[in-house]
Amino acid sequence: MFIVFFISSGVVSISKLVPTPGRRTYYVKTCLKKLARKLRKKRGKTGLRGLKLHHDNASSHTCSLTTDFLQQEGLKLLPHPPYSPDLSPCDFYLFPKLKECLRGKLFDTEKELDAAVHCRLQELSKNGFSPVFRAWLSRCQKCIQFGGDYFEGR
């Protein structure tokens, strides 16, 4: 499993999720720190100022370790309604695009799979993700329209 952070111009950070009992600690100390470092490098003097992070309500995303880290870094967190997988750009766009490319393929090693995932993410990044974020805003409006209920297919 991979943790992927992306902005309108492309993928910023990819981390492989290592099965560990300290998943929350791994998420913050590895994934979020890596994200913050890469964003600072990419944005130069602007740093993390003005950025807002969106992720779902998984326990590793909502625990105090994560929220404390985000606050310390000055990263604002956009709220995500419960039971709304149709709102996450990863769920409605990124993961389906990855699955579409990898479906039916066999990999001899985990390293080969990792390389294929990274390659596909680079391909998807070439044109940027601006249309995905426009679709996300449209989905947010639908979520409001349907009172937070699941709306996919309506």
What pLDDT is stored for residue 122 in this prediction?
Answer: 93
Digit-by-digit pLDDT tens for the chain (154 residues) are 889 999 999 999 999 887 777 778 888 888 999 999 999 999 999 989 999 999 888 888 888 999 999 999 999 988 887 777 678 898 889 999 999 999 999 999 999 999 999 999 999 998 889 999 999 999 888 888 888 777 776 6
What pLDDT is stored for residue 32 in this prediction?
Answer: 93
Give the global pTM: 0.84
What pLDDT is stored for residue 4 in this prediction?
Answer: 93
What pLDDT is stored for residue 149 in this prediction?
Answer: 73
Residue closest to 54 by CA, chosen among 16, 81, 25, 30: 81
Domain ranges of the chain: 2-145
What pLDDT is stored for residue 145 in this prediction?
Answer: 87
b/e per residue 74-83 (b: at least 16 CB within 10 A): ebeeeebbee
What pLDDT is stored for residue 53 in this prediction?
Answer: 92
Q: Which long-range contacts does 75-83 make (Cβ < 8 Å, 24+ apart)?
A: 75/36, 75/48, 75/51, 76/51, 76/52, 77/52, 77/53, 78/52, 78/53, 78/54, 80/54, 80/55, 80/56, 81/143, 81/148, 82/57, 82/148, 83/150
> Residue 8 has what DSSP assignment?
T
CATH of 2-145, one of 3.30.420.10, 3.90.870.10, 3.60.21.10, 3.40.50.150: 3.30.420.10
